[in-house]
Amino acid sequence: MAQARTDIGPPLYKDMLPPIIKENYGKWRYHEILKPGVLVHVSETGAKLYTVRAGSPRLISIYFIREICDLADKYCDGYLRFTSRNNIEFLLSDESKIDPLIEDLKALGIPVGGTGNSITNIVHTQGWVHCHTPATDASGIVKAVMDELFEYFTTMKLPAKLRIALACCLNMCGAVHCSDIAILGIHRTVPKIDHENLHKLCEIPTLTASCPTAAIRPNPKLKSIEIKAERCMYCGNCYTMCPSVHIIDPKNDAVSIWVGGKISNSRIGPRFSRLAIPFLPNNPPRWPEVVDAVKKLVEVWAANAQPGERMAEWIDRISWEKFFEITGLPFTDKHIDDFTLAQTTFRCTTQFKW
């Protein structure tokens, strides 16, 4: 009797490992960066695995995928991988193939870099291309920002690594909550309710339950709902459930910038990003205000951080207050997350740590 196939998920990753990784599984001793974009992992058996890291435009066509697969076939028996920040990594066991591969990548206009003290590819969410709740675009802003910061991808001249992420709403399906610099689209107005159509399109109990702050309650008279404005955090979850609760507001939707997040445990523990700039206009197609703000943050950090000091560590050393002074950013009421004793001082808030 034929067996029913129950495993319909992705194939087991071990089935797709290059032979050199399978053979040396659990035996890798250390790795080094040979030059920007090129790493070597050395096994206790003496085996060496070379990785060439290249940037991808993140939203890619099948033609692009075919091109990089052809290169993988030519140089590394078809093995390549994508990193969580959308870099492409070619995995080679033959050192002599590194430079010809880099030449072929250059010929296709694909940059090599993103290792060590660099700005690696920016991880981002779906934006206007796909998702329905974005307060801003994702790939559009990232393209504009990365065009300006491109030299930091192909070199390793920064004090430490710098991770940038973008999420186009505060549901943050990107890594915005813990990146050195985070670009976050924000809605700023309470959703508008289309009472006439709501009961035809949406289930009121599901819609009510979708709100994480319990701002929504049924309005039986209108066969609709009402939203308690002071409880709403403009997350758009209700709009995900019901197209008659409109969160998109082109005049008020905006972009905010957060800093000092990290996920690694090296030197200091993981950190959430903190609000640095509460509002920048949503200004497509090139978002000049956002690009300028991110570039300035990178440059101020690079000029003032000590070698090896990531954004969070630099801010810890100089203090949150000094961060605003050095960057010239205004400290506003939006930066305060605890108003206890706010009449006398703001230094008692969790944002000021000393």
Query: Contact residues for ligand SF4 (CB under 6 A)?
Result: 125-126, 131, 133-134, 167-169, 171-173, 191, 210-211, 213, 215-216, 227, 232-238, 247
Nearer Cβ to ligand SF4, position 115 or 282?
Answer: 282
Strands 38-43 and 28-35: antiparallel
User: What is the residue type of 126?
Assistant: Q
Q: How many CA atoms lie within 13 A of 141 on its CB side?
A: 37
CB of 328 to ligand SF4, least distance (A): 29
CA distance to 26, 129, 149, 218, per residue, from 214 (Å): 48, 30, 41, 11
Q: How many CA atoms lie within 13 A of 39 on its CB side?
A: 15
Residue with smaller CB distance to ligand SF4, 126 or 282: 126
Smallest gap from residue 281 Cβ to ligand SF4 (A): 18
As a whole number of angstroms, the distance between CA 223 and CA 241 comes to 16
CB of 277 to ligand SF4, least distance (A): 18
List the one residue out of 346, 300, 302 whose CA is nearest residue 323. 300
Q: Which two tokens stand for residue 268?
A: 């200091």
Q: Which residue is nearest to ligand SF4 (CB)?
A: 131
| Residue among 50 and 287 whose Cβ is closer to ligand SF4 | 287
Q: What is the DSSP string of 180-222?
A: SEEEEEE--SPPEE-HHHHHHH--HHHHHHT-TT--EEEEGGG
CA distances from 184 to 63, 100, 153, 304 (A): 31, 39, 21, 25
Instruction: Please report how close the Cβ of residue 168 comes to ligand SF4 at its closest, in angstroms.
Output: 4
Q: Select 110 or 167, whichever has its Cβ closest to ligand SF4.
A: 167
Q: Given the complex with ligand SF4, which of 41 and 187 has the nearer CB atom?
A: 187
Provide the minimum distance between the beta carbon of 27 and ligand SF4 in the complex, in angstroms, as a whole number: 39
Q: Is 310 helix (H, G, I), strand (E, B) or coil?
A: coil
CB 91 within 8 A of CB 132: no
Least Å distance between CB 208 and ligand SF4?
Answer: 9
Minimum CB separation of residue 84 from ligand SF4 in Å reads: 15
Instruction: Kindly tell me which of 102 and 123 has the beta carbon lying closer to ligand SF4.
Output: 123
Smallest gap from residue 150 Cβ to ligand SF4 (A): 24
- Comparing CB distances to ligand SF4, the nearer of 43 and 125 is 125
Identity of the residue, 105 or 227, whose beta carbon is nearer to ligand SF4 in the bound complex: 227
DSSP state of 102: H
CA 247 from chain center: how many Å? Answer: 22
Distance (Å, whole) CA 302 – CA 217: 49
